[in-house]
Amino acid sequence: MLTILIAGCRQEVSTFNPWPSGYEDFHVSTGQAILSRNRGRRTSIGGALEVLEARGDCRLVPAFDAGACSAGVLKAADFKRLAGEFLGALKEAPPADGAYFSFHGSMVAEGEEDPEGYLLAEARKILGEKIPIVLSLDLHGIVTRRMLELSDAAVLYHTYPHVDLGETGQRAARVLLRILTEGAQPVTALVEIPALVRGDELVTETGLYGKMLQGARDFERRPGGLAAGIFIGNPFTDVPGLRSGSLVVTDNDPRAAEREALNLAEFFWVVHERLQAPLVPLKDAVRLAHEAEGPLLLFDAADAPSSGASGDGNAILKELLAQGFGKPALVPIVDAPAARAAQQAGIGKMLRVAVGGTRDPGRFQPIELDARVKTLSDGKFPFERDYGSADAGPTAVLESGPITLVVFSGPLSIHDRSPFYVHGLDPARFHVTVAKCPHWHRRYMDGWVKEIVNVDAPGSTSANLRSLGHTRCPRPIFPLDANVVFEPRVSLIRRAR
């Protein structure tokens, strides 16, 4: 009987978001609640459970799991509490043969720029050096050498938008089992690439990035291939480890790992200049929206809570009003005071309300408007995809002329239409919908979206990367600097057990 320890801690952070995140933003599970929450779901832990439980000879020890919506930097005291609970659960767990950790990779806390590396370092003190630890990581993770040196293998997502969380957990579990039952000896090759990328070519189903990752998937299926992928970091997490890179793990075959990591990195660099988002200036985007045949999506990826932004950006709303936009427009926004005012006023009432700029006042100034309260809710609803449910806090739907605002108390990742549907709003019935997610899942656009416009608006997750003001990431780096030279170097990492 194999005893497998399971733990996780996931959050993606934008260091350009001035609104800090806290412990209360995390959903924390311990013990058997981890299994019941993930079993049968397409989460990374759910995928791992599917593989491990199918064997019949694995005793699972669920210790601790925490996940939060992308947000601003985690407050120091809150990270201390979160880390204390994570490590405390490991201390209380019985001895295990192996461990699976579900991480993201782009956490940042006040005073700790590599929280995952810290958790691994402290976990090693508790679990010892002999136990193999396998990680699953978001391809937007910032993969540090400390993380790789303290784990036995890292397995990356292979899709963007992310639809393979469950499959990634399965792959990680299989790697762990190969170490435990077949004596696999992982060796990792890492090639760091001085580039930060965004844009449609990163959509793996249709873009160049998908072709690169197909090569990684093919390599994993070869004899001796344990894991392979290309991580692109999170351009909004400005830390010393920020960059892109290729990562290949083999079973005791350093030459194959080195060769494949170089191949993936060189493919990436050949096309890296094409991995940028073409953006339309804000005024032009609204003018285009007015003239175009709807329904149309205005992508406000600069204020995407799914990438770590504050969600209170009102730049597109301001421009719609400035241009006297007269067609039906659907606009989501985070503004707890406005939602509270609407709740106090009640359905059907008119109120004068300020909207936007409550979390990121350096970029956004509140806009005052007269609005009628159409709908109120507690902000709890299930997603269309198997992401479970959301809790945006008290929520209000406000109507101001042709503009309908969905006002949430807290940020949430709007991957699909569910936040609108739950309030009786169908985006297909609006001429314009503002989508605060860089790549709203394409499956929900087929058949009704006539045009998509990527708007160059202000925000802490803007694809206009030069506008953000990076100070911590290594330089030179594309596209922040001109004439960046890439000299591929391979780092080989093998943890002695």
| pLDDT at 441 (0 to 100) | 64
Same domain, 119 and 197: yes
Residue carrying the six token digits 């479970």 = 388
**Domain of 345?**
280-463
For residue 105, tell me if it sits in a domain: yes
| pLDDT at 185 (0 to 100) | 98
For residue 60, tell me if it sits in a domain: yes
Distance between CA atoms of 107 and 117, rounded to whole angstroms?
10
Contact 168/175 with Cβ under 8 angstroms?
Answer: no
Q: What is the CATH number of the domain that holds 129?
A: 3.40.50.2300
Distance between CA atoms of 151 and 135, rounded to whole angstroms?
7
Distance between CA atoms of 111 and 109, rounded to whole angstroms?
6
| pLDDT at 443 (0 to 100) | 64
Cβ count within 10 A of residue 343: 18
What interhelical angle do 208-220 and 254-270 show, nearest 10?
Answer: 170
For residue 241, tell me if it sits in a domain: yes
Distance between CA atoms of 339 and 18, rounded to whole angstroms?
21
For residue 482, tell me if it sits in a domain: no
Q: Give the pair of three-digit tokens for residue 489.
A: 């170097």
Q: Which of 66, 61, 131 is nearest to 104 (CA)?
A: 66
Q: Which of 346, 393, 392, 342 is nearest to 369 (CA)?
A: 342
Same domain, 239 and 314: no
Same domain, 261 and 362: no
Distance between CA atoms of 415 and 381, rounded to whole angstroms?
13
| pLDDT at 343 (0 to 100) | 97
Contact 48/6 with Cβ under 8 angstroms?
Answer: yes
Per-residue pLDDT of the chain (497 residues; tens, 9 = 90+): 999 999 999 999 999 999 999 999 999 999 999 999 999 999 999 999 999 999 999 999 999 999 998 999 999 999 999 999 999 999 999 999 999 999 999 999 999 999 999 999 999 999 999 999 999 999 999 999 999 999 999 999 999 989 899 999 999 999 999 999 999 999 999 999 999 999 999 999 999 999 999 999 999 999 999 999 999 999 999 999 999 999 999 999 999 999 999 999 999 999 999 999 999 999 999 999 999 998 999 999 999 999 999 999 999 999 999 999 999 999 999 999 999 999 999 999 999 999 999 999 999 999 999 999 999 999 998 887 655 678 999 999 999 999 999 999 999 888 889 999 999 999 999 999 999 987 766 666 778 889 999 999 999 999 999 999 999 999 999 999 999 999 999 999 999 77
Q: Give the pair of three-digit tokens for residue 274.
A: 């094409």
Inter-CA distances, 403 with 307, 326, 372, 419, 427, Å:
25, 8, 11, 16, 12
Same domain, 383 and 246: no
For residue 397, tell me if it sits in a domain: yes
Same domain, 143 and 197: yes
